[in-house]
Amino acid sequence: MQLTITQSKQLKTKPDPEKLGFGTLFTDHMFSMDYNPDEGWHHPRIEPYAPFTMDPSTMVLHYGQGVFEGLKAYRTADGHIQLFRPQANFKRMNYSCQKLCIPAFDEALALDALKQLLRHEKEWVPNAPGTSLYIRPTIVATDPYLGVRASHTYRFFIILSPVGAYYPEGFNPIKIMVTREHVRAVRGGLGDTKTLGNYAASLLAGEMAHQAGYTQVLWLDGVEQKFVEEVGSMNILFVIDNTLVTPMLNGSILPGITRDSALALGRLWKMPVSERKISIDEVFEAHRAGMLTEIFGSGTAAVISPVGTLKYEEQVITVGQGQAGPVAQKLFDAIMDIQYGKAEDPMGWVEPVM
């Protein structure tokens, strides 16, 4: 398939790389392609970043049939641009598509299109420490129709956003709060897919957590409300008795790529690693016994994010004296060093762009 390029007539002013937040600025161009049953995925193109025109009856606006991904492009010290495990993102996106009845796309074509888009937007990959170009591939259902069924037409687009840290706290520990009032997902549902509704489902509890002075919600399983699942914008990991412990993938937790990378590095370093069910009571018991030394989240946007305070009902605990612990720090440094080309890439995770 031939990818066409339409150049934007007016280029935006690039932001100060030292002052980047998360997800507010977008580059000059985007990638798009369309799907219909006759042509399949077709008309791949790089075009000016611009608002869409959508019929008010467009299906994604009513029934949320859409999926997305999050990954980043990094600038290395010698000016190259590289991606981190992009194949895993497109693979997971196709898994999400299958769960949402969206036709699969060609992962190699998507990666090639992304690389071409990045080469086109190379000036937008920031070079200040800890900054990157966040990449948001998305697919939405585009039939103008109000009946409930899978759409027959779709649009796939990739937008790019220069970013700094996801949390205002940066690498400083955040405060998270367990909710028992709400659940994010249940097994057999869509919890393990990157779909729009999962994030909508997290908002009310997130608002309540903010009002109580917490950054994020820690979700428990949707059935017994007993076992730890994830934070919503990241997976969750614990260091208990010197073992790196994280909830096993059970169908309702997002299979995070940074999660997988952290576990792989832990294993590479010969650290005991355990993916298993972990109850919230066990976390608090481990804290009481002095065994819980660290909690941190992992995610593309968040990278590795230490948790300093955890609240569950009336109990509030401080983990690691509210400081980032050694395992979080080591993983953060190792992952960032691979992503920015400062260290060897022992697992072959880096994908060069230019």
Return residues touching ligand COI (CB under 6 A): 70, 233, 299-301
What is d(CA 237, CA 106) in angstroms, rounded to the nearest whole number? 33
In the bound state with ligand COI, the residue whose beta carbon lies nearer, of 297 and 308, is 297
Closest distance to ligand COI from the beta carbon of 294 (Å): 20
In the bound state with ligand COI, the residue whose beta carbon lies nearer, of 231 and 310, is 231
Residue 70: Cβ within 10 Å count:
18
Closest distance to ligand COI from the beta carbon of 28 (Å): 22
Closest distance to ligand COI from the beta carbon of 302 (Å): 6
Closest distance to ligand COI from the beta carbon of 216 (Å): 11
The residue number whose beta carbon is nearest to ligand COI equals 70
SS3 state of residue 331: helix
Cα torsion through 77, 81, 87, 91, rounded to 10: 110
Show the tokens assigned to 278: 């972990």
In the bound state with ligand COI, the residue whose beta carbon lies nearer, of 93 and 301, is 301
In the bound state with ligand COI, the residue whose beta carbon lies nearer, of 257 and 286, is 257
SS3 state of residue 286: helix
SS3 state of residue 106: coil
Closest distance to ligand COI from the beta carbon of 151 (Å): 23
Biggest CA-to-CA distance, the chain: 63
In the bound state with ligand COI, the residue whose beta carbon lies nearer, of 70 and 126, is 70
| DSSP bridge pairs for 243 | 240
Closest distance to ligand COI from the beta carbon of 105 (Å): 18
In the bound state with ligand COI, the residue whose beta carbon lies nearer, of 118 and 292, is 118
Closest distance to ligand COI from the beta carbon of 139 (Å): 14
DSSP 197-223: HHHHTTHHHHHHHHHTT-SEEEPBPTT
- Cβ(352)–Cβ(117) under 8 Å? no
| DSSP bridge pairs for 140 | 66, 155
What is d(CA 190, CA 174) in angstroms, rounded to the nearest whole number? 27
In the bound state with ligand COI, the residue whose beta carbon lies nearer, of 30 and 292, is 30
